[in-house]
Structure 1
Amino acid sequence: MVAITLALLLAAFLLLCINIGRGEYSIPIPTVVEVLFGGGEKVERFIVMDLRLPRGLTALLTGLALGMAGAITQSILRNPLASPDILGITAGASAAAVTLIVVGGGGSFVGLLAVLGIPIAALLGGILTAVAIYLLAWRGGVQGYRVVLIGIGANAMLIALIQWLLISADINDVSRAQVWLNGSLNGSDWEQVWPVAIGVAVVGTAAVISSFTLGALQLGDDTARALGVRLQTGQGALLLAAVALAAIATAAVGPIGFVALAAPQVAMRLLRTPGPPLIASALTGAVLVLGSDIIGRTVLPVELPVGIVTSALGGPFLIYLLIRNNRKVTA
C-alpha cells in the first residue's frame, strides 16, 4: 500500500512537470525540475514560475480536493455513486456562481456576492446545497441510499436552474458563464492558487486527522458506535469537510466532473482496500486532473477545458459502476 501511494505521488509530480514543460516554448522535464528547485535560466524561471506553475498547481490542488471529497462521501454513505457531482453539491456551487455572473449587482444579496466574487459565491452555494440535502435526508439519522436519491433530485433541479439562467441572460454573460461551467484552468495565477492551497491544506489535514472516524464509519453504524465514535457528530463533521473540499475546487476552476466519483474507486482498486483510501484517492484525483489538462491542452487538435476531458473519460466509468452494481444486486 505504501509503495503504491508513493508511486501515485511520483506520478502526480511527473505529470506536474510535464504540464509545466509542454507549450509553445517547450521545456524538458529535467530543466523544469531544476527550475522548481531554484536553478535554470532567467527566461526559464519566468515561464515556469510565473506563467505555467500556477496553472499546474491549481490542477494539482483541485484534483487533491476532489479525490478526497469523493473518498469521504463514498465512505460515509457506503455507496460508490455518492460523490459531490452526483449529489448536487457541485451543481449548487455552479448555480450560485452562474447567478452571480448573469444577474450581476442587482439586489442587495447578489450585490454582496458581486463584492465577494465568484469563488466565494460558489463556496456558499455548495455548502447551502449540502445543508439542504442533509436536512431533507434526515430521519433520525442519515442513510446513504436516501442521501443519494435526494442528491440526484437536487442535482437535476439545480442543473435546470442553471439552464434557465443561461437562457434568460445576456449573451455576453452567458459566454462568461459557459467558460466557467466547462471547468477551465485558463488564466490561473498565484492569486488563485493561494486560497485553494490554504483551503485544501486546512480542510484536508482535518480530514486526515479524522481518518480513524472515517474508517470506523466504513464498517457500519453499529460497529462505529462500538468503537466509541459519535455517529452523527462524526458523519456531520466529515461530510462538512467533503463539501468544503468540493466547493473549494469548484470555486477555483468551475465544475470538473467525475473526478470525485472515479478517483476513490480507482485508488481502492489499486490498493485493494475494502473502502476508498483517503490519501491515495486524493493523489489519484490529482493525477486525473493533471493528466486531463495535459490531454486537453497539448494532445488534442483543439485545446479543450479540463472539465470536458474529465467528463468524457468519467462518463464510461460511471456506466461501468452502474452495470457492476446492478450485477451485484441481481446476483
Structure 2
Amino acid sequence: MRKYIPFRMGKYISFLMDKRAIVTCVMLVIISVFLFLLSTGIGEMYISPANVIKTLLGSGSEMDEIVVYSFRLPRMIIAFFAGMSLAVAGAILQGMIRNPLASPDVLGMTSGAAVAVVLFLTVFSDKNGSLIVSIHWLPLGAFIGATIAVFLVYMLAWKNGVSPIRLVLIGIGIAALMQAFTTLFMLIGTIYRASQANIWITGSVYGASWKQVVIFVPWALLAVFISFISVRQINIQELGEELAVSAGVSLQKQRLFLLLLSTALTGGAVAFAGGIGFVGLMAPHMARRLVGSSFGGMLPTAALLGGILVLLADLLGRTLFAPLEIPAGVFTAAIGAPYFIYLLYKNRNA
C-alpha cells in the first residue's frame, strides 16, 4: 500500500504525493544536474565536469568562463526549461481531455505558436534582418498563435462532445494548415530570417543568449508553478464530466483556464526553442509508468523528464555528427513519431 504525503497551500490548493514519486523526483533532479554539467562541458572544446563546477563557482580559467557563460550555459538553460514547459503542457492536456494522444504537437499548439513567431520575425524585421521591436513581445505572440490554433481544433472537433480520434485528426489537419502558413511567411521574409526560421522550426536551441534566458525562464517558472498548484483541478478533470459536475465544479471554467495555461507553456517554449516535437506526448506517459497517474506526483516527474529529454536530444545533436550540428527536434521526433503511431494503434477502438 502506498504512503501519501499531503501538500497544502492555503484553503484551495492541496494535493497528495506518494513517497515513490518523491524518491523518483529526487533521482531525476540528480540525473538533470549530472546531464547539465556533462552537456555544458561537451563541445568543440571539452571541459571536464570538475572544471565546469569550478567555472560555475568562479574559480575556472578565463577561457572556460567564456565558453561556459557565453555559449553553453544559456543553451542548456533554455533547453531544460523548454522541455519542462512542453512536458507539463502535455500532461495538462492529457488530463483535461482524458486522451492519451493529446499533446501540444497533436492539437496544433506547437504549429500555431510557430506560425506566430515566424510572422513576428517577418513583420518586425528590417531589411538587414534586425528586429525593430523588443524580443520581450515574442512569447506573447507565440501564446496568441498557440491559443488560436487550439481553439480552432476544439471548436471543429466538438460534436456532442469530443471524440479522442476526431480531436487528433482535426489537430493534425490544423497543424498542417499552420505549417503551410509558416512556410509562406518564411518565403515572404528575408533570406537570413528564412534560413534561421527553417532551423528553428525543427527545434533547436542553437544561438541561445542570456537575453532570451532572462525573458523565458521567469515565464516558464511562473506557468509551471501555476500548473503545480492546479493539480487538484487537473485530477478533477480526469474524473469525467458527470462526477465533476456532481461535485459542484465549474467544469468549463476550469477547462478554459487549463487550456490557456497549457498554451502559455507551449508558446514560451516554442518562442525560444522552436518546434521541438513529441516531448509533450512522451514525458507524461513515461511519468505515469514511473509514479502512477495521480497528478500530484506525475506532473513534477513529467516536468523533469521533459527537461532531461531535450537536454539529451541537444547533447546528441551536438556530438553524434560533429562538426555538423543536428537540431534537437530531429532526435525527439525520431523517438516520438513511432511512439505516437503505437499509441494510435493501441487506441484505435477508442
**Which band: TM-score by shorter chain?**
0.7 to 0.9
Is contact 1:8–1:283 with CA below 8 Å preserved after alignment? yes
Is contact 1:216–1:227 with CA below 8 Å preserved after alignment? no
Greater mean alpha carbon deviation, residues 228-237 or residues 26-35: 26-35
Shift of 1:303: 1.4
Distance 1:74 1:136 in 2: 18
Change (3 A) 1:46 1:173: closer
Is contact 1:100–1:114 with CA below 8 Å preserved after alignment? no
**1:82 correspondence with 2:102:** yes
Sequence identity percentage: 37
Question: What is aligned with 1:280?
Answer: 301
Question: What is aligned with 1:297?
Answer: 318
Change (3 A) 1:40 1:235: same
Distance 2:250 2:90 in 1: 22
Of 127, 133, 155, the residue aligned with 1:115 is 133
Change (3 A) 1:40 1:283: same
Shift of 1:104: 5.3
Q: Secondary structure at the match of 1:304?
A: coil
**1:15 correspondence with 2:35:** yes
Distance 2:319 2:125 in 1: 38
Greater mean alpha carbon deviation, residues 173-182 or residues 90-99: 173-182
Distance 1:102 1:3 in 2: 47
**1:43 correspondence with 2:63:** yes
Of 26, 31, 34, the residue aligned with 1:6 is 26
Spell out the pairing of 1:50-199 with structure 2 (5 A cutoff): 50-102=70-122, 115-117=133-135, 118-137=138-157, 147-166=167-186, 171-199=191-219
Is contact 2:279–2:336 with CA below 8 Å preserved after alignment? yes
Residues 301-330 of structure 1: CA distance to partner in whole angstroms, max 9, x if unpaired?
43101112211221121122122223xx38
Q: Secondary structure at the match of 2:119?
A: helix
Shift of 1:6: 1.5
Question: What is aligned with 2:18?
Answer: none
Is contact 1:77–1:145 with CA below 8 Å preserved after alignment? no
What amino acid sits opposite 2:171 in the alignment?
G
Distance 1:123 1:116 in 2: 16
Is contact 1:69–1:243 with CA below 8 Å preserved after alignment? yes
What amino acid sits opposite 1:285 in the alignment?
G
Change (3 A) 1:189 1:295: same
Question: What is aligned with 2:288?
Answer: 268
TM-score normalised by the chain length of structure 1: 0.87
Shift of 1:299: 2.2
Is contact 1:20–1:56 with CA below 8 Å preserved after alignment? yes
What amino acid sits opposite 2:346 in the alignment?
R
Shift of 1:272: 3.4
Shift of 1:47: 2.5
Report how many aligned residue pairs link the two structures: 322
Is contact 1:89–1:243 with CA below 8 Å preserved after alignment? yes
Residues 189-232 of structure 1: CA distance to partner in whole angstroms, max 9, x if unpaired?
11011111111111111111110111111121222234443211
Change (3 A) 1:171 1:51: closer
Of 252, 266, 275, the residue aligned with 1:246 is 266
Residues 60-114 of structure 1: CA distance to partner in whole angstroms, max 9, x if unpaired?
11011001000000111111111111111111111122234445569xxxxxx96
TM-score normalised by the chain length of structure 2: 0.83
Change (3 A) 1:166 1:191: closer
Shift of 1:38: 4.3
Shift of 1:57: 0.4
What amino acid sits opposite 1:323 in the alignment?
Y
Shift of 1:3: 1.4
Q: Secondary structure at the match of 2:106?
A: helix
Distance 2:274 2:183 in 1: 16
Residues 228-274 of structure 1: CA distance to partner in whole angstroms, max 9, x if unpaired?
43211111111111110001000012110111111111111122336
Greater mean alpha carbon deviation, residues 203-212 or residues 173-182: 173-182
For structure 1, the 5+ residue unaligned runs are: 107-112
Is contact 2:203–2:328 with CA below 8 Å preserved after alignment? yes
Is contact 2:157–2:163 with CA below 8 Å preserved after alignment? yes
What amino acid sits opposite 2:75 in the alignment?
R
What amino acid sits opposite 1:242 in the alignment?
S
Distance 1:204 1:241 in 2: 9
Distance 1:225 1:35 in 2: 55
